[in-house]
């Protein structure tokens, strides 16, 4: 939300954000302009933009806040990829729950970290979970900044999402380098398990497209790219188990072999693209594949 004392500019030509601000900020030094960016006091088209090399386009609205912006989020297991007045997109590292498993839990989660982060600016601010990643799954995760937007995105999630790409380290070498897995998944909430059937058994249809990227020389591990056509609970983990090549370190859907060379479930949410619910423009976010995935194959 723009405050009366904020400074608003409209971009007239394609230019780097730093150069644009240098031309507009009335003789401020380059160092001072960079401080505006690092203090998160500059937004472009409603999104905080801390990078001076970001390219602004003709028609973009640049707002420079009069007060100090949010302190940059610093946490070993969570970093901000993008934020605006509607959404926060983060990179979650393994070992962190998306949200508490019990309401009374005091465990640190992505949700609790982000709520503390947004409340530094205003105690009434909050964030709301749109979707989840398992504790040991790393990658892109989205939160809404209002409950109404959370409900909208959850209701229309399948229509909003245009791309979901995961990277997994799996056991062995797949017989086919690429292919599609289609099955029907049923969830047993009592045992907290999901089961796959190759035929329609009344469950939810799940479709996963996969492609092998690399294999270890001894054939023990394979790095696989997976594109979700549907997004069911534990879909990738169940589908890889059904192929006989479970995700490395999967204690739930493996075959009793709990060993992981990097001591984690080797699953990573690399890309998430969706239609922004407020701007109606496609946005795409990518989290780098953990380096240890590739090191295992060497």
SS3 14: coil
**Alpha carbon of residue 42 to chain centroid:** 23
- Spatial distance between the Cα atoms of 204 and 186, rounded to a whole number of angstroms: 7
Alpha carbons 3 and 104: distance in angstroms, whole number: 37
* Residue whose tokens read 């900044």: 145
Rounded-to-integer distance, Cα 247 and Cα 38, Å: 39
The residue count for the chain? 298
For helices 17-24 and 30-38, the axis angle rounded to 10 degrees is 120
* 84 a catalytic residue: no
Task: Choose, from 134, 218, 250, 263, the residue flagged as catalytic.
Answer: 134
Q: Cα–Cα distance between 78 and 141 in angstroms, integer?
A: 10
Closest by CA to 133, choosing from 197, 228, 212, is 228
Q: Could you tell me the CA-to-CA distances from 185 to 6, 149, 232 in Å, in that order?
A: 52, 28, 8
Active site residues: 134
């Amino acid at each position: 939300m723009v405050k009366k004392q904020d400074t608003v500019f409209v971009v007239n030509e394609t230019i780097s954000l730093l150069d644009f601000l240098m031309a507009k900020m009335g003789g401020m030094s380059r160092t001072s302009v960079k401080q505006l960016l690092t203090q998160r006091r500059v937004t472009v088209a409603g999104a905080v933009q801390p990078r001076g090399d970001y390219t602004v386009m003709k028609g973009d609205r640049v707002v420079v806040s009069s007060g100090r912006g949010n302190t940059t989020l610093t946490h070993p297991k969570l970093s901000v990829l993008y934020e605006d007045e509607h959404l926060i997109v983060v990179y979650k590292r393994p070992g962190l729950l998306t949200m508490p498993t019990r309401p009374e839990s005091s465990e640190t989660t992505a949700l609790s970290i982000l709520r503390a982060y947004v409340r530094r600016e205003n105690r009434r601010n909050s964030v709301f979970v749109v979707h989840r990643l398992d504790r040991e799954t790393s990658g892109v995760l989205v939160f809404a900044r209002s409950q109404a937007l959370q409900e909208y995105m959850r209701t229309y999630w399948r229509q909003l999402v245009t791309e979901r790409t995961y990277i997994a380290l799996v056991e062995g070498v797949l017989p086919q380098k690429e292919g599609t897995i289609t099955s029907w998944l049923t969830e047993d909430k009592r045992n907290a398990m999901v089961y796959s059937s190759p035929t329609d058994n009344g469950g939810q249809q799940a479709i996963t497209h996969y492609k092998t990227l690399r294999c270890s020389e001894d054939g023990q591990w394979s790095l696989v790219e997976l594109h979700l056509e549907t997004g069911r609970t534990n879909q990738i983990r169940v589908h890889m188990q059904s192929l006989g090549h479970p995700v490395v370190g999967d204690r739930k859907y493996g075959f009793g072999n709990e060993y992981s060379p990097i001591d984690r479930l080797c699953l990573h949410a690399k890309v998430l693209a969706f239609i922004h619910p407020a701007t109606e423009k496609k946005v795409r976010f990518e989290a780098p594949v953990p380096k240890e995935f590739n090191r295992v194959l060497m």
